[in-house]
Amino acid sequence: MSQDLLSLQGVNKAFGPVHVLHDVNFSVRPGEVVALVGDNGAGKSTMVKCIAGIYPIDSGTIRFNGEEVHLTEPKAASQLGIEVVYQDLALADNLDIVQNMYLGRERGSKWFMNEVAMEEEARKTLASLSVRTITSVRLPVQALSGGQRQTVAIAKSVLWDSKVILLDEPTAALGVAQTRQVLDLVRRLAEQGLGVVLISHNLGDVFEVADRIAVVYLGRLVAQLAAKDVTQNQVVELITSGRSGDLGLPKPETAAISGL
């Protein structure tokens, strides 16, 4: 078993009196897709923002490649190779694919942008991900379909020598064919040795591409299970009640939480 690429150990996060994350233990290894699932308000977004350096953790440890790290700002996470593709994609419709992929990180001097080098590298990145649905890297983003936009956003994150990519609802609002393209791309990321965290409400997508499933319930990570060892009904029960049979929270703790 390979070493964890990214791990959270006993992580807590509160906003004033509201304790959002409780002693969270979470990990992702190179070459695997870990699905992070939970109901709205369970704490998934807060976890992602702690990993991305947007929120500092209150206590606990975050390790990257076995070394403890302090992610006090998004730049610190990016420098390690942690990239987040948010649901809104953060793409500029009026710019083309190359300009979007290099937005804020353009190559060249302050007087001259090396358009040729950027275009070549953008093509190579898309080719490395076996992207065949984009005919030209000079197409404006506003002319792309939803699936193509998601592909550009993911390729943009891969461009910077990423090691862990967090994908926030990458198939939301996509059609069947576009969803297929994105899910294939998620698997290719893992096959290239990246650690992928997939945040999704679509359990069909989760079971299709995830190696492991991590379930968050009321700020607690109640289970991390191999996808092949759990059923969709069990995951639904874990999401809605924090427990399914012998999986998840022990009964006394579940009862205590329900009584809050």
Q: Which residue has the higher pLDDT, 129 or 253?
A: 129
Indicate the domain borders of the chain. 6-93+162-258
> What does the DSSP assignment read for 26-68?
EEE-TT-EEEEEE-TTSSHHHHHHHHTTSS--SEEEEEETTEE
Token digits for 172? 């939301």
Please, what CATH class does the domain formed by 6-93+162-258 belong to?
alpha beta
Q: What is the pTM of this model?
A: 0.86
146-203 confidence digits (pLDDT tens) = 888 888 988 888 887 789 999 998 888 778 888 888 899 999 999 999 999 999 999 9
216-226 confidence digits (pLDDT tens) = 999 999 999 99
248-257 confidence digits (pLDDT tens) = 888 764 455 5
| Residue 104 CA, distance from chain mean position | 21
Region for residue 85 given its phi and psi (left: phi exceeds 0; alpha: psi -120 to 50; beta: otherwise): beta
187-202 confidence digits (pLDDT tens) = 999 999 999 999 999 9
Residues constituting the chain = 260
